[in-house]
Amino acid sequence: MPLSITIKPQGRRVALAKGLPATVSFSDKTISQVTVEEVKGALQAKFPRFYASRQKLSLEDSKKTLSDEKTIAEVLADEGRSSTDVSELTFSVKDLGPQISWKTVFLVEYLGPLIIHPVVYHLSGTIYRQNFEHSQLQTVTYGLVLAHFLKRELETLFVHRFSHATMPFTNIFKNSAHYHLLSGILLAGGVYGPWYSSQALAGSRRADPKWIAGFSALWLVAELLNLQAHVTLRNLRPPGTKTRGIPRGGLFEYVSCPNYLSETLAWAAITGLTLSPFALLFLVVSTVQMGVWALKKHHAYKKEFGTKYPRRKAMIPFIF
């Protein structure tokens, strides 16, 4: 029996699909074979400008977003509805607005500090209107920050596999502001100034090579643990899929999100190294945000895998 799905606009009219309501049909598949993603593709075929990543599909009279990978039968089962002899269904669709790829957003937000730090470091004499010699602490901090964001750019290009292809276009401004302002302008402006110069730090503990080496070592360990976590997550998801497995090994035995834990440790090392209030500000803001993300991912893992999911904390071992 052919499957027909009527799709209505959710709320106001959809500007890119003025012909809604519309019906999409699948003559050669059952509800156990047709996925939400295929429904979106069929709707895009009718309204080419209304591309799939802009569409939020829900069952009629429901605002719950349907997962692309689920079949229609699974969607009905989740709602406690019988899928027996279903030949006609009604969905509602909402326009999520212009979208941009996650990869593009990541590349742009990490690019900011990679441009801002060299500019401030190498033009410090002009910016601060005085000549001074950079201290070892300033030079090392400069290298650590550049290495961190270069690593993030390379991971975005070659390691990360995103569960969602796109996000709202406006997110690029919010995400970029976080990195460009806090870890870019404020951190660079605060650390590369004359108050951290060789002359200013002479005789202080921040000029001690052991102090610098100790925090640099902590930073390196944290970055390696972060890379290990990202590679582990990548290997759980086959190319071209949204499959998720239970991550194991390393810090995953203690927390659900060791990538956030290790990121926090790396910035804690830079904060301890410089004792800069601007580094501390970025550390606090980032840790709070990553804590929110970690809780969401932790609960998602527990919901998806149930009793199979190991006992572990969200982000900080034995605590949180």
Domains and CATH numbers, the chain: 3-97 (3.10.20.90), 100-308 (no CATH)
Handedness of CA 235, 239, 244, 245 (dihedral sign): negative
Contact 315, 261 (CB under 8 A): yes
How far, in Å, CA of 24 to CA of 33, rounded?
15
Higher pLDDT, 13 or 196: 196
Average pLDDT, the chain: 93
Above 70 in pLDDT, residue 186? yes
CB of 60 within 8 A of CB of 8?
Answer: yes
Surface-to-core class of residue 283, CB atoms within 10 Å of its CB (0-12 exposed, 13-18 middle, 19+ buried): buried
Task: Supply the angle between the helices 209-236 and 258-274 in degrees, to the nearest 10.
Answer: 160
pLDDT higher than threshold 60 for residue 118: yes
What residue type is 259 in one-letter code?
N
Measure CA 115 to chain center: 21
Beta bridge partners of 22: 7
Q: Is the pLDDT of residue 244 over 80?
A: no
pLDDT band at 24 (very low <50, low <70, confident <90, very high): very high
pLDDT number for residue 84: 65
**CA dist., res. 36 & res. 73, Å (int):** 10
* pLDDT band at residue 160 under the 50/70/90 scheme: very high
- Quote the pLDDT of residue 240: 63
Which of 80-84, 86-90, 139-143 bottoms out in mean pLDDT, i.e. has the lowest? 80-84
Using the CB atoms, write b or e for 289-313: b if 16+ within 10 Å: ebbeebeebbeebbeeeeeeeeebb
Residue 138 exposed, middle or buried by CB count within 10 Å (0-12, 13-18, 19+): buried
Residue 31 is predicted with a pLDDT of 86
Output the pTM of the full model. 0.88
Q: What phi and psi, each to the nearest 5 degrees, are found at residue 6?
A: -90, 130
